[in-house]
Every structure is written in C-alpha cells, then in structure tokens.
C-alpha cells in the first residue's frame, strides 16, 4: 500500500511557480510549466508532474534549457508554421507554437505548427486538449530522449514518442488518447527498478536485443548508450505487431524532427535538449454542423462504453475517463502525492527557503 499526502492544487501551484522563478523563469513561463505539471499530477500521471521540478532545475543549470529564450517563427503559410525554439522552456515554447496552430485553424480551418530545438513539454495530452477546447480536433506529438529499440534492432534510437489526439464530443468526459508509442514509459521501468522487481518479458531488450526482465540493467544500458532499451508497442518481435509500434514511433520522428528540420531522438540531450514537437488543429465545423457532430461522436463513444465487459471486468474505460475522474477528485480533495515525491519536493522547498504547503 503506497502512502501519500493530499496537497491542494493552489498550494502546489504557488510552490512550483516560486521555484521556477528562482530558476530564472518569468511569470508566464513559471505559470505554464506549473499548470502543465499539475494537470499531469491531477490526472494521476505523476511521472510527468511537479516531481519533475528537480530535473528541470538540473536542465536549466546545465544549460540544456535557456529560461529566457523566445521561440522564433521561421516559416509560415495560411495553414502552417515552423519555429525554432532556441532551447527555451519546452512548455512555454509549446504554448506559443500550439496557440499558432489554433489561430491558423480559426482563420483557415486547419493549422499545423512544428518546432525544433525545444525541450520537454509535459504530457502530450495537455496540448491536444488546449486545441479541443476551441472545438477542434487536437493532435500533439513530440520526440524524446532515445529509449526505444526498433523491431529487429538492438540500439535505442527512437524516443518513446507520444501521440495525443483529442476529439470534441458531448461525451461526459473529454475524449482523448494520450499514448507513448512504446509498450511502456521509462517511468514504469524506474518504478520496478526501485522496488527491485523483475519486469514482464515483452517490455524491454538487453544490449544484444534479447528480451530481458531486468529493469535496472535496461536503464543503465540506455543511460550509457550500451544497447538495448524499451520495445515498441506490440513487443520486440512482429508476432504481436511490434513493427506497428515501431512504425508509429518512426512516423512521429518524421512529423516532429522531420518537418521542423530538427534533431532525431538519437541526437537529443547532448548540449541542449533539442526536442521537436508537432501540433495540428482541425476545426470540427469543417465537416458540417458542430452540434450534430458533437452528438454523433458522443453516440459512438457511448456505444463502446455500454458494450459488455469481459467476465472478470466491471466496465469498459473510454480514453481519458479515468484521468478526468482523478482530476475532478484532485480538485476537490487535493492532489495525491506519494511520500518519496513529497520528500523530494520538501527538500527543494528547504533549499530555496520556500514552503511546499
């Protein structure tokens, strides 16, 4: 049983903003980083929550992230925009670039904006949802540090390369798929490693490209570029479709680093983060009356929700439904924080003479 504390969003937000200001971020940057992180925490995705603050601090102090940099618009058409993030704060860069996609879609129906030389942008779903709030289909994707081994390979050359797609509807929770294109995230391996537990075969391969159940070895190998890593969605072979997850990760490289003339995952996190992102906004009323479409989307979701569960399950979960319930709960009762994370943030608070709550 994991022990945890509950702390209100307001308290954590104030703390996070204060820390980021100490690190040289202005009001806007501190606010957007804190908002994105706390959206992850509220949804129960604590791997992308404010537990990342010490890592962002390290990246700023090491010069990977420039807390003052402004993204620069390099190229533009009526439906597209290409930016250079100039190694700025990933969430801030993404806010500007994502808003551009929305602006283009508002004017011309659709918009794609891409950016190179950015940094970690939090959960991909945050950005897809921002677009969806404007009654648009929102698609957001990013490459990441190299962690994933292609089918038949043994080098972690691909990122976990998330794809998030949000679709407007009248369904009771916002419909959004937010998935790493790998079978699991690095965060999951870290949990097993800390608990000295073996991972299931089918999550990762060793330095030779063979299936392994040792998470610590995999993490160590990835860190040292010694070979091996996490496998794509579908597993290490083609038997269960690993080449499909590999294909999705590959397409993400092309849509992010490719279209922005950025750096593929393999070459990220050297002098700078050098992460590339992709944002696409598509206005729902491009396809007819919005209200009718919002209802139709709801009906399709309801049909799946109400289909019969397997004999040992009680219900089918629509994507983002659980996260949305977590979020509602966190807003009412406070954000759940496990004790190691709490202690980590507490020591950050002490270092900067701030109070966590």
Which of residues 57 and 116 has its CB atom nearest to a second copy in the complex? 116
Contact between 28 and a second copy by CB under 8 A: the answer reads no
- Cβ count within 10 A of residue 13: 18
Residue 81's nearest CA partner among 106, 109, 105, 100 is 100
Interacting span for a second copy (CB under 8 A) from 91-99, 213-221, 234-242, 329-337: 234-242
Interacting span for a second copy (CB under 8 A) from 58-66, 117-125, 203-211, 329-337: 203-211
Measured between alpha carbons, how far is 124 from 138 in angstroms, rounded to an integer?
10
Token pair listed for 129: 């949802």
Interface mask (CB under 8 A) for a second copy, residues 47-76, using x and -? Answer: ---------------------------xx-
Measured between alpha carbons, how far is 55 from 37 in angstroms, rounded to an integer?
12
The count of chain residues that interact with a second copy, using the rule CB under 8 A, is 86
Q: Between 321-333 and 27-43, two packed helices, what is the crossing angle to 10 degrees?
A: 110
Contacts of a second copy in 84-143 (CB under 8 A): 108-110, 112, 114, 137
- One of 73, 191, 226, 317 touching a second copy (CB under 8 A): 317
What's the min distance (Å) between Cβ of 52 and a second copy? 23
Interface mask (CB under 8 A) for a second copy, residues 244-263, using x and -? Answer: xxxxx-xx-xxx-xxxxx--
What's the min distance (Å) between Cβ of 333 and a second copy? 25
Q: How many residues does the chain have?
A: 357
Contact between 43 and a second copy by CB under 8 A: the answer reads no
HEC letters along 92-139: HHHHHHHHHHHHHHHHHCEEEEEEEEECCCCCHHHHHHHHHCCCEEEE
Q: Between 124-132 and 27-43, two packed helices, what is the crossing angle to 10 degrees?
A: 100
- One of 102, 128, 147, 205 touching a second copy (CB under 8 A): 205
Sign of CA dihedral 249, 70, 122, 214: positive
Interacting span for a second copy (CB under 8 A) from 9-17, 35-43, 59-67, 169-177: 169-177
Contacts of a second copy in 290-309 (CB under 8 A): 292-293, 296-297, 300-301, 303-304, 307-309
Contact between 224 and a second copy by CB under 8 A: the answer reads no
């Amino acid at each position: 049983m994991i022990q945890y504390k509950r702390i209100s969003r307001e308290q954590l937000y104030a703390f996070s903003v204060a820390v980021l200001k100490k690190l040289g971020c202005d009001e806007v940057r501190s606010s957007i980083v804190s908002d994105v992180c706390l959206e992850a925490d509220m949804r129960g995705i604590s791997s992308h929550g404010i537990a990342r603050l010490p890592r962002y601090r390290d990246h700023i102090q090491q010069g990977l992230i420039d807390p003052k940099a402004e993204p620069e618009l390099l190229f533009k058409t009526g439906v597209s925009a290409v930016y250079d993030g100039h190694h700025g704060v990933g969430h801030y860069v993404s806010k500007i670039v994502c808003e551009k996609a929305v602006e283009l879609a508002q004017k011309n129906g659709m918009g794609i904006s891409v950016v190179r030389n950015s940094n970690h942008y939090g959960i991909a779903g945050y950005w897809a949802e921002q677009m969806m709030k404007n009654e648009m289909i929102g698609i957001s994707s990013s490459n990441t540090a190299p962690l994933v081994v292609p089918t038949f390979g043994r080098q972690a050359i691909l990122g976990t390369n998330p794809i998030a797609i949000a679709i407007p509807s009248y369904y009771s929770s916002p419909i959004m798929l937010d998935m790493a294109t790998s079978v699991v995230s690095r965060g999951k391996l870290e949990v097993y490693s800390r608990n000295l537990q073996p991972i299931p075969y089918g999550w990762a391969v060793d330095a030779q490209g063979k299936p392994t159940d040792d998470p610590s070895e995999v993490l160590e190998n990835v860190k040292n570029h010694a070979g091996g890593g996490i496998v794509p969605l579908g597993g290490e072979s083609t038997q269960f479709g690993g080449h499909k997850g590999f294909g999705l990760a590959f397409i993400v490289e092309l849509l992010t680093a490719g279209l922005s003339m950025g750096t593929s995952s393999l070459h990220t996190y050297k002098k700078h983060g050098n992460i590339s992102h992709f944002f696409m906004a598509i206005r729902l009323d491009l396809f007819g009356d919005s209200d009718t479409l919002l209802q139709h989307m709801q009906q399709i979701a309801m049909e799946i929700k109400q289909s019969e569960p397997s004999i040992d399950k009680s219900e089918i979960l629509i994507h983002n439904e659980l996260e949305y319930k977590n979020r509602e709960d966190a807003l009412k009762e406070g954000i759940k924080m496990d004790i190691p994370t709490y202690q980590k943030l507490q020591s950050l608070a002490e270092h900067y003479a701030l109070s966590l709550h």
